[in-house]
Structures are given as C-alpha cells and as structure tokens.
Amino acid sequence: VKPPPVPAAVDLSHHISAESRLRQQSRLKMASSYLTRDPSILSLAAGLPSPALFPIEEVTARVAMPQAEAARSGVWKGDGLQEGVTMEFLKTKRCTELGKSEYDLSRALQYEQGTGSRKLLDFLKEHTERIHHPQYSDWDCIMTGGNTHAMETVFRMLINPGDYVLLEEFAFPETVDSLRPLRPRLIGIDVDEEGMRVDLLADILDNWDEEARGGKRPHLMYMVPTGQNPTGATIGTERRKKIYALACKYDLVIIEDDPYYFLQMPAYVRHGTSPSDGTVPVPKTNAEFVASLVPSMLSLDSEGRVLRLDSFSKVIAPGTRCGWITGAAVFVERVLRHNEVGLQFPSGISMAVLHGLLVEAWGQDMYVNWLVNLRAEYTVRRDVILKAMDEYLPSGIASWTPPAAGMFVWIELSYEKHPRHGHLSKEEIEMELFEAGIAKKVLIMPGSWFKAEPEKLSRAIFFRATFAAVPPEQVRAAIRQFGEVVRSTYGVE
C-alpha cells in the first residue's frame, strides 16, 4: 500500500507584512537563471568580476575529525577528536578526493544566488529532513547570516507597526532590539522552570479583547524552546504540542529560534559522581542521540506555520555567520527576495570552508558525531557550574533549576531576605549585586536586562550565568566570587 501523499502547507500568506509584500524579484538574478539552464549562453548580463582577477589563489583549512560513532564507549572522557584533515581550496575545479575540495574558489569568491550555496543548502536540507522530518510537502530552506540576521528578516516579513507579538517574558536582548524599530506591541508571557507557561498563553488568546487592547489578537509568536536565553529553560514535548495546538486554533505563526537544540543534556544528578572526573554518559549510537532530543516545533508542524531558525554559531563557530531558515515555501520565497537586497548570501569563504568541513570531510553521520561530542563537553561544563553553585551560593537565598540544554543558568535570589527589601526595588538590588560583582571581578547579567516588557515590574531578582564562555576552573572561581558577593550583600555567613 502506498503511503498517503503528504499534504502541502496551509496558505498563510495573509501573515506577510506590507513591507515584505513590496519586495520584487531581482531582475539580475532572474537573468542569471538563463545561464544555469543553458551554460552555452554567452553572458553580457550581470557584472560578475572575472575570477582570474581574484587575488586569493588558495585557501587551506585544517579541520577536526570527530571520533566515529562505533568507537564511542558510552562514557565521555573528552577524547572525541581524531587527527584532523587539511582541506585545500583552489581556483580550479578538481576531482573529489579527501583534502582537495571540489568547491573551487572561482565559485566560492563569485556572486552566488540569494539562497546561499546550492550544495551546502542541499546538505542542510538533508540534515533538516533527518532530524525534524517536516510534515508537509512544500517546505524549504534558505541560508542566512546566522539567527540574528534571520530573526530580523522574518520579523520584517511578518510584522506591521502596532501588531501584538508574543514572546517569553525574558528574551535575548537582540531580539527585543531587533523588534523595537518595527513598532510592535510586545507581550511577554511568564515562564516557569519548563519555559513559556501555556496556561497564560491560552488565557491571553482565549480572552483577547480587541477593544480594550486597541488591536487585533496576536498573529505571531517568537520563542526559544530549547535552552532558552536567558532562562535556560527547555519546553517539554507535551507543552510544545499544546502551544502548537493554540497556534493552529488562533492562526499564529511561530518563529522558533533554536540555536541550542543540539546542546540538550542528560538530567543533572545533584550530589552524584564528581563531575570533575569528566565522565558523563554519551549515547552509544547517533540514532539513540537523535531519538533523545525533544521534538522541535518544526517537527510538530503540519500546517507550515513554524519558521525554524538554525545557526552554526553554537555548534560550529559564530564567526562563520551562517545559518538557515526552514519553513513553508511562501515564506522562504519572501526571505529570498529580502536576501537579494540585503545579505545576498553568507560569505563565500565561510560557505566554502563549511562545505569542506560538513559535506566533504564529515558527511551527515560524522556531523552528528560532532554534535554528540559537543553536547558532552557542555554537559561537563554545566555540571561544573551546578556543583559550584551548590557549594558556594547560600541556600535559602539563591535557587535555580538545573538547565537541560544550552549555555545558561538562571539564578533567582530572594527579595524578602535582602536586608533592604521594601526600600530598594528588585532592579536596584540587581544593580547593586552587579556592581559589587564587578568589584570582585565577576561579570554576571542582571535579569531585568532581558525583560521583554521593560516597563513591567520585575517579579523577582534574577541573574543569568553562562558556563560556556570560560574554562571550567574559571567558572568555579567566578561562582565562588559571586557567592561571596551574595553573602556579604545579604549579610549571611
């Protein structure tokens, strides 16, 4: 029996903003498509500089090779890298052979389509298919300059001034800074230890009063479902399904900004084996790893209402300035029109090196090996910071939920136990601790800096600490120092 055909996305083009509707196809790019169809055509069209005049003759990149899946023992000892290989990129095209890239510099240094490099994009689509299994037929991917760029692009595609937009009550500051010039009205939804509260989301949508609010019910939600920045929270499968059901009921488009998806970790065992011995469990097979990941919003989406933003920043390197958007073809086409007049495409050198690394040196399975190793490395670091917090932060004053993904721990400090509560506001106490921290040579981010609605009163005193930026020994030292700051401010031993 043939499986039933996969349906196409629901037509959600009514969400597209007035600005985005005005974008037209680039006539230059349209003309170039004739050359792709018939390479014998002689072109006097686009002003492509001659590759002979590119003064970069050769690029070599030595890349790490992650240990093969079969060699994994089930315990991480920080030994996941094998001998690297050197990839050479020349101007001339060469036959494929490990180390000699087929991605020639004449191509890499030339103008490219607004989708980004076709071959790299094909790899990313295959990866997306393997991990997220999109459930409708006309999904597509397009390359971006990372998630900051992708966010700005999709916000401009979907927001008209005055629109209400939903997001977590605490957000990545660049998200809010990117939204502000588009003049939406932001609604921050309170979070608990599992992220955005679906009961509050339902309450807002169910009881929307257009007159009282002076505007239509929100049609857009931005969320960071895994290892949220700054709260570190990861939304579980059941809550994701409820959020998606609400999105369908109320015709919301969801922007899933998910740079920490692969940094999902095993549960933290308090007072368990000493993390400093560097042993954390790792899945024996890649299939086991992939199956352990919480389903993305994209993977739950049967209607084409999720735009998923992936970035290489946290899994390869931020300086690649490369990522991709996955979503319904109608939206991806609008992004392409925007890319043509903005980013154009990510840097050719960056795409060539990523192609050499991902497509030629690694391939799909070895990329997953890399991700397995990487999340083990972050697990070691997370366990170090959590152990240091248990040791150095005063219990009864400081509390937190061990993060299950990402790079951040969100620490709450008691307001009532502060000696000057009632006299100082929560924000003032955060600033007092922030400054005392700097005097003690530890920099930690006050929670109120992440508020989606800065004018709203703070619910509590929060700080965001990352365990990604400095080596584990320094993380311990920094937490010890922060612990001293908290103790002396609160007047406890």
Q: Quick one: 302 or 344, whose CB is closer to ligand PMP?
A: 344
Q: Which of 117, 311, 326, 373 binds ligand PLP (CB under 6 A)?
A: 311
x-or-dash pattern for ligand PLP, window 169-208, by CB under 6 A? ---x------------------------------------
110 binds ligand PMP (CB under 6 A): no
Sheet holding 398-400, edge to edge: 398-400, 408-413, 461-466, 445-446
Q: Which of 5, 47, 55, 491 binds ligand PMP (CB under 6 A)?
A: 47
Count of residues that bind ligand PLP according to CB under 6 A = 12
Shortest reach from residue 152's CB to ligand PMP, in Å: 17
Residue nearest to ligand PMP (CB): 47
Q: Quick one: 313 or 489, whose CB is closer to ligand PLP?
A: 313
226 binds ligand PLP (CB under 6 A): no
For residue 257, list its beta bridge partners: 309
Q: Which of residues 136-165 bind ligand PLP (CB under 6 A)?
A: 146-148
Q: Quick one: 259 or 283, whose CB is closer to ligand PLP?
A: 259
Q: Quick one: 121 or 343, whose CB is closer to ligand PMP?
A: 343
Q: Is 290 exposed, middle or buried (0-12, 13-18, 19+ CB in 10 A)?
A: middle
Give the SS3 label for residue 253.
strand
Q: Where are the alpha helices (DSSP H) in 250-310?
A: 286-292, 297-300
Shortest reach from residue 349's CB to ligand PLP, in Å: 17
Q: Quick one: 348 or 446, whose CB is closer to ligand PMP?
A: 348
What HEC string does 438-489 produce?
A: HHCCCCCEEHHHHECCCCCCCCCEEEEEECCCCCHHHHHHHHHHHHHHHHHH
N-terminal to C-terminal alpha carbon distance within the chain? 71
Shortest reach from residue 310's CB to ligand PLP, in Å: 9
Count of residues that bind ligand PMP according to CB under 6 A = 2
Candidate ranges 277-285, 300-308, 311-319, 465-473; the one touching ligand PLP (CB under 6 A): 311-319
323 binds ligand PLP (CB under 6 A): yes
E strands, 190-322, in order: 191-192, 195-196, 220-223, 253-257, 280-281, 306-311
348 contact, one of ligand PLP, ligand PMP, none, CB 5-8 Å limit per kind: none
344 contact, one of ligand PMP, ligand PLP, none, CB 5-8 Å limit per kind: ligand PMP
Q: Measured between alpha carbons, how far is 5 from 129 in angstroms, rounded to an integer?
A: 17
Q: Quick one: 344 or 425, whose CB is closer to ligand PMP?
A: 344
Q: Measured between alpha carbons, how far is 392 from 465 in angstroms, rounded to an integer?
A: 14
318 binds ligand PLP (CB under 6 A): yes
Q: Quick one: 29 or 381, whose CB is closer to ligand PLP?
A: 381
Shortest reach from residue 339's CB to ligand PMP, in Å: 11
Which residues neighbour 214 within 8 Å (Cβ) at sequence distance 6 or greater?
none
Q: Which of residues 317-346 bind ligand PMP (CB under 6 A)?
A: 344
Q: Where are the alpha helices (DSSP H) in 216-359?
A: 237-249, 286-292, 297-300, 329-340, 348-354
Dihedral angle sign, alpha carbons of residues 404, 405, 406, 407: positive
In whole angstroms, how far apart are CA 66 and each of 199, 281, 316, 458? 43, 17, 12, 44
Closest to 483 (Cα-Cα) out of 379, 381, 395, 382: 395
69 contact, one of ligand PMP, ligand PLP, none, CB 5-8 Å limit per kind: none
Contact 472, 384 (CB under 8 A): yes
229 contact, one of ligand PMP, ligand PLP, none, CB 5-8 Å limit per kind: ligand PLP
DSSP 8-27: PPP--GGGS-HHHHT----H
Shortest reach from residue 149's CB to ligand PLP, in Å: 6
Structure tokens at 238: 């059941």
Q: Quick one: 340 or 360, whose CB is closer to ligand PMP?
A: 340
Closest to 227 (Cα-Cα) out of 293, 291, 282, 128: 293
Contact 236, 377 (CB under 8 A): no
257 binds ligand PLP (CB under 6 A): yes
434 contact, one of ligand PLP, ligand PMP, none, CB 5-8 Å limit per kind: none
Which element (helix H / strand E) includes 203?
helix 198-206
Provide the binding-site residues for ligand PLP, judged by CB under 6 A: 146-148, 172, 224, 229, 257, 259, 311, 313, 318, 323
Provide the binding-site residues for ligand PMP, judged by CB under 6 A: 47, 344
